[in-house]
Amino acid sequence: MTCLPSQSGKKLGLVIDLDTCVGCQACVTACKEWNTGGHMAPLTDIDPYGGHVDGVWFNRVHSYEHTTEMGGRTVNFPRSCLHCETPACVTVCPTGASYKRASDGIVLIDEDKCIGCKLCSWACPYGAREFDTDVGVMKKCTLCVDRIYNDNLAEEDRVPACVAACPTSARHFGDLGDPLSAVSQLVAERGGVDLMPELGYRPTNKYLPPRAHTTRAASVAAPALEPVRAEGGFLGWVDRMLSN
């Protein structure tokens, strides 16, 4: 049923630290590797070695230049499903293929019910859903539902593949419905934000903005060279002669 369920209060999701993400794409490849054999498998690639490469990915890392009066910096930005509390991608689904789980808030697709109308991808402002032209159905991040509850894995491995792969611990997984959970406290401490809050989708995933520029640390770069001031006297005469 594509009506949103009444929630249990558990809201599993990710917290992504834009301060420490180095844009290495490890989460992207780890996601692809796990999920192409996982719940929404396959993550089809079209013409993978040709000139028009295309394919389904659940997680994409962009790079941006953020310029403020404090200066500019590069921000690497992983983008995946935010498992929103009011996901329009679910309510627009005409078949009941898209659903939000009452027990933990994960948004999933039942591939056997999807007719591939693509309306859910139009309804998602974040571009989290990608259509598999080969299978003819929509696909999306499952929050590695087949890892996080998987008794066959060691307990420390029961996190989404992207979180397990991140070498800088920029990705955190946990229950954002519990204010005492580690992820909730991290969000509170670092001022985590929602993406596009004005649209009212109430994303579960939070992004930690880059930390403020600091003036405490020593400047790494040498001060810029100053232009030689026109001088008088002998040195000035030499400078003018050599400049000609």
Partner 1 sequence: MHPAFSVVFFTTATGAGYGLLALLGVLGGLQVISPDFWLGLIGMGLALGLIVAGLLSSTGHLGRPERAWRAFSQWRSSWLSREGVASVITFIPAGLFGIGWVFLGRTGGWVAIAGLLASIGAVVTVCTTGMIYASLKPIAQWHSRFTLPGYLIFSAMTGSVLLNALLQGFALGSKTVLATCILVTLLGWGWKLATWRYNDRLEIATTANTATGLAGGSVRSLEWPHTEENYLLKEMGFRIARKHSTRLRQITQGLAFALPVLLLAATFALPRPFAAALSLLAAIVQFAGMLVERWLFFAEAKHTVTLYYGR
Point out which residues bind partner 1 (CB under 8 A): 1-4, 18, 25, 28, 52-57, 60-69, 74-75, 77, 79, 88, 90-97, 113-119, 121-127, 130-133, 135-138, 193-201, 207, 209-210
State in angstroms the smallest separation of the CB of 165 from partner 1. Answer: 16
Nearer to partner 1, 40 or 56 (CB): 56
State in angstroms the smallest separation of the CB of 164 from partner 1. Answer: 20
Nearer to partner 1, 138 or 148 (CB): 138
The residue type at 185: Q
With beta carbons less than 8 A apart as the criterion, state whether 65 and 82 touch.
no
Taking phi first (over 0 means left), then psi (-120 to 50 degrees means alpha), and beta for anything else, what does residue 9 get? Answer: left
Three-state secondary structure string covering 151-182: CCCCHHHCCCHHHHHCCCCCEEEEECCCCCCH
Nearer to partner 1, 66 or 158 (CB): 66
Nearer to partner 1, 39 or 60 (CB): 60
State in angstroms the smallest separation of the CB of 168 from partner 1. Answer: 18
Q: How far apart are CA 85 and CA 1, in angstroms?
A: 16
State in angstroms the smallest separation of the CB of 64 from partner 1. Answer: 5
Residue 71's closest CA among 220, 226, 227?
Answer: 220
